[in-house]
Structure 1
Amino acid sequence: MNPSRKVAVLDYNQNYINDIFTLLDSPELEKVVTEFLNQPDNRNSKSNFNKLTAPKYLEVIKKVLLDEQSIYQTYPQKEVINSIEKLYSFYRSFLRVSVLSKAGSNSANAFINLDNKFNELVLQLYRTVEEKLQGFANHTYRQVNAGTSAAALVNRQVEPLLPNDYASLKEIPFIDTLVLRPPMMITTPSNKREGVFSAVSANPIINFNKLEDQQEWFCFPAKIGESLAYIYFHRDYLAAGVSLANLFEVATEAEIKTKRPDLILLFGMQKTEEDVCHYYHDEANDVWVGEVPYNDKTTYFGYMKKMCLTLHNLHMIYKDRLPIHGSMVRITFSNGKEKSVVFFGDSGAGKSESIEALQEIADDKIVNIETIFDDMGSFSIKDNQLYAQGTEIGAFVRLDDLSSAVAFNNMDRGVYLNPDQKNARVIIPANTYDRVVEPHHVDMWVYANNYDTEIGIHRFENEADAKKTFITGRRNALGTTDEVGMSTTFFANPFGPVQEEQRTRPIVDSVFNWFFDHDIYVGEIYTHIGNDKSKASLNESAHELLDVLMNS
């Protein structure tokens, strides 16, 4: 239990509790009560009940359950029930993740049943104590996730195909199955990403080999596009670790056994150079390795997501594929036409907002908008045909940029990060893995221009002008990272192309050559979100985009 990170891990392998009296006698509950009583408002409380030690506090609760009325002469019922309510809320404010080791072919279903029963047990204890104290049964019951907010079935037996240099990673358990209990509301100390990831000359695995807390790590085996990524993280980063399930497909045990990883991320290292994020290209083993330091800044989920995508994009560049920072949608119109559109630009440029504006103004002209990828994809040319593929099965989007309808419609499956703060985010599933990595034809590629005052869309007449706009990567930064105001980023993508600009430029040239040789629409949409929050101008631009798509 880590109060500073608001994370609690319940290891069912070490102890599983079946009844409320065993729960009351457990050292685990005593630890929770100890942490609760150590909170400043309890240490300074006027209530004698809140000043008890944890064992004595739990003895009082037992007497409440046994209907020993004499206890109320020392501790008034009102004080006790107020404290119990606060204790219950304190425990539920943590991200509570249960863990069980996989054993047998039906262990996933058995694990879910075990976790459900533990949730029911915690709820039963709380309600029994509550109703004893208030003297009557409740008339309204809310079936909240009282015990856990997520559960992880881990595989400790699988033998991953790892190069010899990475033998120390073989003992770390792989996440096999995740159970999320949405809506999940997660609070982290940090809510913004800073800086650009840079290369280091020494493999981070060297420092990992020196760690003494390797038993406190987990691995999320992810399929990022067509890359196999092993995302190793310290248990204090479980908030980010379980959130990955809404963003990336979990690799199967068969894939772990038969494929070498393309990417390895070590998230939560005790120390890195200058205490920032780095990557290393292990050319001998053909693997990209990332490292992220353990500190409050890196609790923001953007660090985990973007470092994963940086490693993937670097891997793509070395395969002569062009990483695309943008969103791709497949639009089906009422007139029978279908168009695939890629919206391109850096964070805060208006990619997601443009898609949402299309949905809002389309009325019955659009039958369906399918998200192929939400944040990152890649272009590749094969047999003189250009294809786009995505990386993520989900979307990591700002709540500020979404309509209330989109935010609330995804409550039953979303992971909400710092929802009460600026730059609040939600992670929601968007499409299936097979559909995301399927090669897709591109009908239009538009730059999300959030800084110019024009309205509508503009098609570039020549390749040089188009390339200049896309490569310059200009935007009015909205504070979603540490940048604010006008900024430029090479190819609007600080996650791969910036780090390997010289290797990326020839691929950029070949992609633009293909688009213009095949007369594919390359342009820009004026989103105005860098200056105008009313959405009126963006909606006007969306109208023009809709007209072009339906009539071309």
Structure 2
Amino acid sequence: MVQEKIDTAPLYINSDRGVAVLNYSSKYIKDVFQLANSQELANVIKVYLADASFQKTPSALNDASVEEYVDVIKDILMNRMDELKFESEDILNSIEDLYTYYRSLLRIATINKHENDIVATTFMNVDNRFNELVLNLYRGVEERLQGHSNHMYRQVNAGTNACIITQSVKWDVPAKYASLASIRFIDTLMVRPPMMVHTKSNKREGVFSETKQNPIENFKGGRDSWYCYPAWVGESLAYIYFDRDYFANGLALGNLFELANEADVKDRKPDIILLFGSEGSASDTDDNCHYFLDEENDIYVGQVPYNDKTTYFGYMKKMVLTLHNLSMISKHKLPIHGSMVKITFSNGKTKSVVFFGDSGAGKSESIEALQEIADDKIENIETIFDDMGSFTLTGDDQAIYAQGTETGAFVRLDDLSSEVAFSNMDRGIYMNPELSNARCIIPANTYQNIIQHHHVDMWLYANNYDKEIGVHQFEDEQEAKSVFVAGKRKALGTTDEVGMSTTFFANPFGPVQKQAETQEIIDEVFPALFKKGTFIGEIYTHLGYDKKKSSLNESAQELLNILMNS
């Protein structure tokens, strides 16, 4: 069945994508009776009645017209119970299913700032009142039908899951990007965690490739249906434009990348532009994601097509990071696919360690194992970057520093210890938690900390395919470089790959696309690190070999000993 879609100024609903957008600036409902009389409630009922899949419990009320359904709600609110033409049980069953359907949607409220600073301090109160309003309507109908008050109340997110402030900002718009000028920027976000998001896809496929045509030439989005999340990705300014059907991804960005403020954006041209949910060039015969270097304006432009598979958040995150990494390579910086942590030991020592490797190699798992076996030997582990960073040669006696890109972490739920998972539950955005490869986006560090110039004490390749246990230090520079460049791993199903694979420099997000340019930087970085005496080696994670937790813990124990005694 083709599901009903609502597209009005105050309310947009796309059941196929499980999203609803409420525009408080267009219309704000102030009381229960206004809600019962609103066209917006009638539209929600219309969508509900049009699709039997939303109706879980048999009810004669489900065969009523929208007008009859609304009249039933009004009669109940006015205590005209003797005028009801349906049995109370039937009404209650249908109302429960209607309420469940509405709450199954990802519901985002928007408020346009209009350069009014008062909105910034009151928008959460406005949204809270709407949540209370929806709850009061539901409970008022429910309790009258059942004939008594509830004995237990659950303060769920009945109205919305999130509320955002948007505003129009004048930025340095090159002529060919004029179609983006009217699209509002996200200024402030408020989410109600733990937020559970469900998308039609749960895995990333394919490789992002270069296109010969600037994606902006095919952009057909507009002010009413597109939004921009201005992000700091490392020190790159990225304008991430997305279709409202991708609001699940757009909201998740708030937990992953620093939101740039109005002063950052005003009159400034970005380093990166991503068009998420936009048509590609006719010359691109595949349906993958593409990038384009606009040399005239010095902007990397990305394009992600509108389809079911790109609803997976990995597409948004990795396309942003690909564009960032391409920009880094052009600036002669080396993109690092891995995790960097700064470890503070109880004996006062601090060590900065970079775990390197492609998806599923065991970077996050190694850090978790280190925490688990450390007991009181480690006071703190600070995440500098969770997935992508960069190395920069300073030119000062070949010194190298590292920087991160993300303020949060996009991790598999299976990789999180129960302690980390539960301690972050009130801050996390959870994606498809009931499925394999379930993910969680949680805050990890502040933007100010991740972009500092961090010293590198140890660089470890996450080896998930060999049977050895422990940590191996490379004595030979060429041997080390060959292992890192080969990017070998055993794929664990987090992407569409299965079995043994190799990826240039373990990074399909920039270095694969620019191998010659990346190799030049690699050939400078490795000699510099060896000259400085940096520990370069590999840790055997066993995740693609036998997956024994005890094996990884043994490797983590050896790593702990090396770090504490060096």
Q: Aligned to 1:261, which of 260, 270, 282?
A: 270
Letter in 1 for 2:244: R
Letter in 1 for 2:326: L
Q: CA deviation at 1:71?
A: 4.2
User: Quick one: distance in 1 between partners of 2:35 and 2:514?
Assistant: 55
Q: Aligned to 1:192, which of 203, 206, 215?
A: 203
Q: CA deviation at 1:129?
A: 1.2
- Quote the residue 1:490 is aligned against: 504
Letter in 2 for 1:410: N
User: Quick one: distance in 1 between partners of 2:527 and 2:58?
Assistant: 75
Structure 1, unaligned stretches of length 5 or more? Answer: none
Is this contact kept in 2: 1:446–1:524, CA < 8 A? yes
Q: Aligned to 1:297, which of 300, 306, 309?
A: 309
Q: Aligned to 2:476, which of 453, 462, 473?
A: 462
- Quote the residue 1:183 is aligned against: 194
User: Quick one: distance in 2 between partners of 1:371 and 1:275?
Assistant: 35
User: Quick one: distance in 2 between partners of 1:248 and 1:106?
Assistant: 26
Is this contact kept in 1: 2:170–2:267, CA < 8 A? no
Tell me if 1:238 matches 2:253. Answer: no
- Quote the residue 1:451 is aligned against: 465
* 3-state SS of 1:231 partner: strand
Is this contact kept in 2: 1:204–1:290, CA < 8 A? yes
Is this contact kept in 2: 1:373–1:393, CA < 8 A? yes
User: Quick one: distance in 2 between partners of 1:270 and 1:86?
Assistant: 36
Q: Aligned to 2:363, which of 344, 351, 364?
A: 351
* 3-state SS of 1:63 partner: helix
Is this contact kept in 1: 2:14–2:20, CA < 8 A? yes
Q: CA deviation at 1:47?
A: 2.2
Is this contact kept in 1: 2:143–2:149, CA < 8 A? yes
Number of residue pairs matched by the alignment: 548
User: Quick one: distance in 1 between partners of 2:384 and 2:66?
Assistant: 52
* 3-state SS of 2:442 partner: strand
- Quote the residue 2:8 is aligned against: none
Is this contact kept in 2: 1:43–1:51, CA < 8 A? no
Structure 1 segment 25-44 matched on structure 2, within 5 A: 25-41=37-53
Moved over 3 A (4+): 41-46, 212-215
User: Quick one: distance in 2 between partners of 1:162 and 1:393?
Assistant: 27
User: Quick one: distance in 2 between partners of 1:462 and 1:356?
Assistant: 29
User: Quick one: distance in 2 between partners of 1:538 and 1:143?
Assistant: 42
What TM-score does the superposition give when structure 1 sets the normalisation length?
0.97
Q: CA deviation at 1:213?
A: 4.5
Q: Aligned to 1:162, which of 157, 161, 173?
A: 173
- Quote the residue 1:519 is aligned against: 533
Q: Which string of whole-angstrom CA distances, capped at 9 and with x for unpartnered residues, describes residues 501-552 of structure 1?
A: 0000010111101110111100000001113333110001000000000000
Q: Which string of whole-angstrom CA distances, capped at 9 and with x for unpartnered residues, describes residues 315-366 of structure 1?
A: 0000000000000000000111000000000000000000000111000000
Structure 1 segment 134-149 matched on structure 2, within 5 A: 134-149=146-161
Q: CA deviation at 1:108?
A: 1.0
Is this contact kept in 1: 2:351–2:563, CA < 8 A? yes
Q: CA deviation at 1:113?
A: 1.3
Letter in 2 for 1:169: L
Letter in 2 for 1:343: F
Is this contact kept in 2: 1:332–1:338, CA < 8 A? yes
Q: CA deviation at 1:45?
A: 6.8
* 3-state SS of 1:111 partner: helix
Structure 1 segment 3-22 matched on structure 2, within 5 A: 3-22=15-34
Letter in 2 for 1:415: I
Is this contact kept in 1: 2:280–2:303, CA < 8 A? no
Given the superposition, is the C-alpha separation of residues 164 and 536 from structure 1 closer, same or farther in structure 2, using an over 3 Å criterion?
same
- Quote the residue 1:67 is aligned against: 79
User: Quick one: distance in 1 between partners of 2:453 and 2:104?
Assistant: 43
Letter in 1 for 2:348: G
Is this contact kept in 1: 2:221–2:278, CA < 8 A? no
Tell me if 1:282 matches 2:291. Answer: no
Between the aligned residues of both structures, percent identity stands at 62
* 3-state SS of 1:513 partner: helix
RMSD between superposed Cα atoms in Å:
1.3
Q: Aligned to 1:82, which of 93, 102, 115?
A: 93
Tell me if 1:341 matches 2:353. Answer: yes
Is this contact kept in 1: 2:488–2:502, CA < 8 A? yes
Q: Which string of whole-angstrom CA distances, capped at 9 and with x for unpartnered residues, describes residues 25-57 of structure 1?
A: 111111111111122246797521111122211
- Quote the residue 1:332 is aligned against: 344
- Quote the residue 1:479 is aligned against: 493
User: Quick one: distance in 2 between partners of 1:286 and 1:370?
Assistant: 34
Is this contact kept in 2: 1:42–1:50, CA < 8 A? no
Q: CA deviation at 1:275?
A: 2.2
Q: Aligned to 2:107, which of 77, 83, 96?
A: 96
User: Quick one: distance in 2 between partners of 1:453 and 1:290?
Assistant: 40
Structure 1 segment 36-55 matched on structure 2, within 5 A: 36-41=48-53, 46-55=58-67
- Quote the residue 2:548 is aligned against: 534
- Quote the residue 1:247 is aligned against: 256
Q: Which string of whole-angstrom CA distances, capped at 9 and with x for unpartnered residues, describes residues 390-412 of structure 1?
A: 00000000012222222222110
Tell me if 1:387 matches 2:396. Answer: no
Is this contact kept in 1: 2:471–2:559, CA < 8 A? yes
User: Quick one: distance in 1 between partners of 2:414 and 2:89?
Assistant: 41
Given the superposition, is the C-alpha separation of residues 45 and 124 from structure 1 closer, same or farther in structure 2, using an over 3 Å criterion?
closer
Q: Which string of whole-angstrom CA distances, capped at 9 and with x for unpartnered residues, describes residues 51-105 of structure 1?
A: 1122211111111122222245x32212211221111111111110001101312
Is this contact kept in 2: 1:271–1:294, CA < 8 A? no
